[in-house]
Every structure is written in C-alpha cells, then in structure tokens.
C-alpha cells in the first residue's frame, strides 16, 4: 500500500480488502490446511487442463448453457456476499465512524466500501474458480483468461446491488428492521435457486442447482441466444461481449457511487442511532414479566431472545429446504403407494425436527450471551443447560406439530408416531449439542458448522437413525 497515495480511492479500497482478508484468516493450522487443500485443488485443475488441452472450447450452445448457468449461480452467491458486506459496512460502525470523521469525501468512502465488498467477493470466488480455469486457459485456451475480468465485473455489479439493497432497506424499514430483513434476504438468496429448481421440477428429483438452471436455459433459450448470452460469451473471451461486461460494471459502479452517496450517509446515520422504541407492553404488570422458578425464567428468556431475532430462526428453517427433494421423493417417488408415503414423510418430519432442534439447542446452549452471569449464579451448570435444552424443545415443538397435524385426519396413529419421532430426534440432537457443542456467538449461526463438525455429524447420524425408526414404526402401524 506504500506506493499508493494515502487517502486515494485505490489506497482506501486496498485497506478494505486487507481488512476483509484479515477477518477471514483463521488459526495457523487452519491456514496451512487451506493451503494444502488449495494446492490439491490446483493439482486437480492442472489434470482437468490436461484432459481439455485438445478439446475445442468455443461458445457453442452447449458451452454457453454451462457458462450462463454458472454465471447465474455465481451472481446469486456474490449478491448474497454483497448484501451481507453492505450490512457489515453499515452496522459495524467503528470503521465508518473513523472514515466519515476524516476529511475524506463520503463519496470516496462509499466507492472504497463498494470496491472492498466487490474485492472480497471476487477473491472468494477466484479461489474456487481460478485453480480450475487458469490452468485450462494457459494450456491451450488463452481466451479463457477472460474469466478473471468477468469475475471482477460480476463482483462489482453484485457489490453495488448488495450495498444498494442494504441502504434501501435501512431507508425504508429503519435500522433495526433492515438488519433482520437483510439477513433474511441474504439467507433466501442462498437457497433461492435451489428452491426454484425443486418447485419447477414438478416433483422429479434433480441432480443439482446447476443442472436445474441449465435445463431451464435450454428450455427458454435464455443465456444461449441474444444479449442474455453475452456474459457467457465474455467468459469465452469474445472481445465485444467482454468489453460490454466491463463497461456495464463500470457504469453500475459509477451510478451506485453517485446515486447512493447521500442515502449512504443517511443510512449510516440512522444505523448508528441506538435508540429503540419502547415495547408496546410497557403498561403490563411488572409481575407478569417474572416467571416462576428457574425453568420458567430460562425458557421465557430464550423465547424472548429468539422472537426478537427472527432472522436466526429463519436461517434455521431455510436449512430445512434441503430436505425438499426427500419430500418430493415421498410424494412422487414412492409411486403413490400409501403404505410407503406416510412412513417416509414421518421419517422426514423426525429428521427435520432433529436438525431444527440441534440448531436451536446450539443457540440456547452454546451461543449464550452472558455465560459469566450463569457462572456466578447459584445454580448448577447442568440444571441451566437442561432447562436450555427444554427451551430448544419448546421452540421446536410448534414446527414438529405441522406434519402430524396434516397426517392426523387420515392417519391418526402415524401422526402420533411422527410426533413422537420428532420429539425423540429433537431431544437427541439437543443432547448432542449439550454434550459436544462449542461456544459461539448468536450472530455466527451460519458459520457454526465449521466449528462443530463432530456435533453436526453426530446430529445427522442420530436424526437419520431416529428417522428410520419412525418410518418403520409408522409402516407397521
């Protein structure tokens, strides 16, 4: 950074990217592991390049479909990163307090933030894509080097839309609402393509998001013909589409920097306002807020906290959409045979309940915000943790009731078994979290799997086991 003029846009943007990298950097062991994996991945990329060396890689309809589908998926992921980056920018006030109290124009600060978010998104996906693309490009397909500017252009566009969306949310919903809704949208964007692919497949099993998007493109011609194919053509090194992509990215960047400048400042100001409106229940009797006994107090506290952070519950529920293929399989794949359909549905209900309760137990047990308060209280640790598990079960129960209620009119016995299976799976998942969970922060729910691989694995295994038992019981009933 020394060779850049301090305070200039590139200097600020590099500062942002450096911070993003430091934020992502883990322990030394993890860094070494990542480097080893990256080297192995690059080796695989070289092997692929060797296989493709003599292949003619031209923008034929088949390759265009593949390229367009990959770019659509890439863009949704980058948009999620852009939105989350925008939210971090607005709510991690320490950094902006410093930047905006300096004599730098706020437009430059916004541009730097845009480039910072774009840079970290581009870096993330470069790690995933370049080890495959670069060896192929260097081994006889030099036009594929265009993948680098295309990723950069998409990252800039995604960052501009992401930050724009974050700002629009703050301006329309206020700081608090925008934070929750923004996180919900970011979570939805991650699962959107998957959900759409499942819904559009009419119940038939699909291999992956990529194949679903490709099939849709082949059907509609989108991304294969006309303007919509330009990003994919740019990917294959066609000069005019590539220049057009870069021009669009530059224009979007310029428009976003110019248009959002005023809104950015106002959004940051309102995001920084810490005053919150009094709750509507201010008038209720004081005693009504107090619960009887430890269990009541713990469950009430956990329910209140979850109710006030709906985005966390939403993220947890969204994880369950990955069970949709199983649901479709139960509905269609069993050939409509009633005696198989109900047990499979009961098993799915139990597995979903297990997954959900595991996540909720992580929230109540491992993501405790004031562990010292509990540690200095005159209550045995085990008792509080047991009550926290109960709280997770209480939160899970309304969702665990949905499937049994649907089944109850036609299959009352199976409905009871499905509910009992759900409770058992929830309890088992909660217990695993209680025994093996690692402390974390509530906000880091999406990243928790990295820290508790064993817990996740055991949870999944337990849920599958109980799911199978539930299915068997429902079948024999």
Partner 1 sequence: MAEHNTPQITDSAAPPSPALEVRGLAKAFDKPVIVDMDLSVEAGELYALLGPNGAGKTTTLRMVAGLTAPDAGSIRIFGIDALRRPLKAKAITAWLPDEPMLYDKLTPLEYLAFVAGLWSIPRAEAAEEAERLLTWLGLWDDRATRCEGFSRGMKQKVALAGALIHKPRLLILDEPLTGLDAAMARSVKDMLQAQVKAGATVIVTTHILEVAERLADRIGIIQSGRLLAEGTLAELRQRAGSSELTLEELFLDLTGGHHAVA
- Between 207 and 371, name the residue whose CB sits nearer to partner 1: 371
CB of 173 to partner 1, least distance (A): 16
CB of 295 to partner 1, least distance (A): 8
CB of 171 to partner 1, least distance (A): 20
On whether the CB atoms of residues 65 and 218 are closer than 8 A, the answer is yes
CB of 218 to partner 1, least distance (A): 48
- Between 27 and 202, name the residue whose CB sits nearer to partner 1: 27
Question: Would you state the structure tokens that stand for residue 283, as one six-digit string?
Answer: 């008038």
On whether the CB atoms of residues 122 and 155 are closer than 8 A, the answer is yes
> How far apart are alpha carbons 84 and 121 in whole angstroms?
11
Quickly count helices (H) and strands (E) in the chain.
20, 0
CB-based contacts of 448-454 (< 8 A; 24+ apart in sequence): 448/362, 448/366, 452/362, 452/366
Question: By C-alpha distance, which of 35, 40, 212, 41 is closest to 128?
Answer: 41
Question: Would you state the structure tokens that stand for residue 41, as one six-digit string?
Answer: 């991945």
- Between 132 and 173, name the residue whose CB sits nearer to partner 1: 173
Question: By C-alpha distance, which of 409, 416, 364 is closest to 391?
Answer: 364
CB of 298 to partner 1, least distance (A): 7
| Furthest C-alpha separation in the chain | 79
On whether the CB atoms of residues 204 and 67 are closer than 8 A, the answer is no
On whether the CB atoms of residues 455 and 432 are closer than 8 A, the answer is yes
CB of 284 to partner 1, least distance (A): 8
User: Which three-class secondary structure state does DSSP give residue 107?
Assistant: helix
Residues engaged in binding partner 1 (CB under 8 A): 274-279, 281-282, 285-287, 289-294, 296-298, 300-301, 304-305, 308-309, 369-370, 372-380, 384
CB of 288 to partner 1, least distance (A): 8
- Between 303 and 468, name the residue whose CB sits nearer to partner 1: 303
DSSP-derived letter for residue 207 is: S
- Between 103 and 380, name the residue whose CB sits nearer to partner 1: 380
- Between 101 and 286, name the residue whose CB sits nearer to partner 1: 286
CB of 444 to partner 1, least distance (A): 15
CB of 341 to partner 1, least distance (A): 42
- Between 238 and 311, name the residue whose CB sits nearer to partner 1: 311
On whether the CB atoms of residues 341 and 331 are closer than 8 A, the answer is yes
DSSP-derived letter for residue 292 is: S
Question: By C-alpha distance, which of 358, 346, 164, 131 is closest to 260?
Answer: 164
CB of 163 to partner 1, least distance (A): 24
| Cα Rg, the chain, nearest whole Å | 25
- Between 54 and 372, name the residue whose CB sits nearer to partner 1: 372
> How far apart are alpha carbons 238 and 428 in whole angstroms?
56
Q: Please report, for residues 362, 391, 446, 448, 449, the alpha-carbon distance to residue 440 in angstroms, rounded to integers and kept in the order given.
A: 8, 18, 11, 7, 11
- Between 16 and 302, name the residue whose CB sits nearer to partner 1: 302
User: Which three-class secondary structure state does DSSP give residue 336?
Assistant: coil
The set of residues, in sequence order, having a beta carbon less than 8 Å from that of 450 and lying 6+ positions away, is none
DSSP-derived letter for residue 5 is: P
- Between 31 and 377, name the residue whose CB sits nearer to partner 1: 377
Q: Which helix (H) or strand (E) holds 53?
A: none
CB of 272 to partner 1, least distance (A): 11
- Between 143 and 301, name the residue whose CB sits nearer to partner 1: 301
């Amino acid at each position: 950074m020394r060779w850049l003029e301090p305070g200039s846009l590139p200097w600020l943007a590099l500062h942002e990217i450096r911070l993003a990298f430091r934020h992502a950097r883990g322990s030394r062991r993890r860094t070494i592991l990542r480097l080893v994996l990256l080297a192995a991945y690059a080796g695989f990329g070289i092997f692929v390049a060797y296989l493709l060396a003599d292949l003619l890689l031209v923008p034929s309809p088949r390759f265009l479909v593949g390229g367009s589908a990959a770019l659509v998926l890439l863009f949704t992921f980058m948009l999620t990163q852009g939105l989350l980056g925008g939210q971090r920018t607005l709510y991690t006030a320490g950094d902006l307090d410093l930047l905006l109290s300096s004599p730098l124009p706020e437009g430059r600060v916004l541009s730097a933030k845009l480039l910072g978010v774009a840079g970290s998104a581009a870096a993330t996906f470069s790690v995933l894509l370049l080890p495959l693309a670069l060896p192929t490009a260097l081994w006889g397909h030099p036009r594929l080097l265009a993948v680098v500017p295309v990723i950069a252009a998409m990252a800039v566009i995604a960052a501009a839309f992401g930050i724009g969306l974050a700002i629009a949310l703050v301006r329309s919903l206020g700081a608090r609402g925008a934070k929750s809704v923004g996180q919900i949208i970011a979570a939805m964007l991650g699962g959107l393509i998957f959900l759409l692919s499942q819904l559009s497949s009419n119940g038939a099993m699909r291999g992956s998001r990529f194949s679903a998007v490709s099939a849709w493109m082949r059907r509609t011609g989108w991304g294969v013909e006309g303007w919509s194919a330009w990003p994919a053509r740019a990917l294959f090194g066609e000069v005019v589409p590539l220049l057009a992509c870069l021009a669009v990215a530059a224009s979007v960047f310029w428009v976003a920097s110019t248009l959002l400048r005023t809104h950015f400042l106002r959004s940051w100001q309102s995001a920084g306002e810490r005053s919150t409106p009094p709750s509507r229940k201010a008038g209720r009797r004081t005693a009504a807020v107090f619960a009887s006994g430890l269990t009541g107090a713990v469950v009430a506290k956990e329910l209140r906290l979850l109710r006030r952070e709906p985005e966390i519950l939403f993220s947890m529920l969204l994880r369950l959409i990955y069970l949709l293929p199983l649901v479709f399989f139960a509905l269609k794949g069993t050939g409509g045979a009633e005696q198989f359909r109900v047990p499979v549905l009961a098993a799915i209900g139990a597995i979903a309940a297990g997954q959900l309760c595991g996540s909720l137990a992580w929230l109540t047990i491992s993501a405790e915000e004031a562990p010292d308060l509990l540690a200095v209280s005159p209550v045995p640790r085990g008792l509080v943790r047991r009550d926290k598990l109960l709280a997770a079960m209480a939160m899970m129960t309304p969702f665990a009731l949905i499937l049994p209620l649907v089944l109850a009119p036609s299959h009352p016995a199976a409905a009871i078994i499905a509910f009992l299976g759900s409770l058992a799976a929830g309890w088992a998942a909660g217990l695993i979290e209680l025994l093996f969970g690692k402390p974390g922060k509530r906000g880091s729910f999406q990243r928790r799997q990295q820290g508790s691989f064993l817990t996740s694995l055991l949870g999944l295994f337990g849920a599958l086991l109980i799911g199978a038992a539930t299915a068997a019981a429902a079948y024999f009933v």
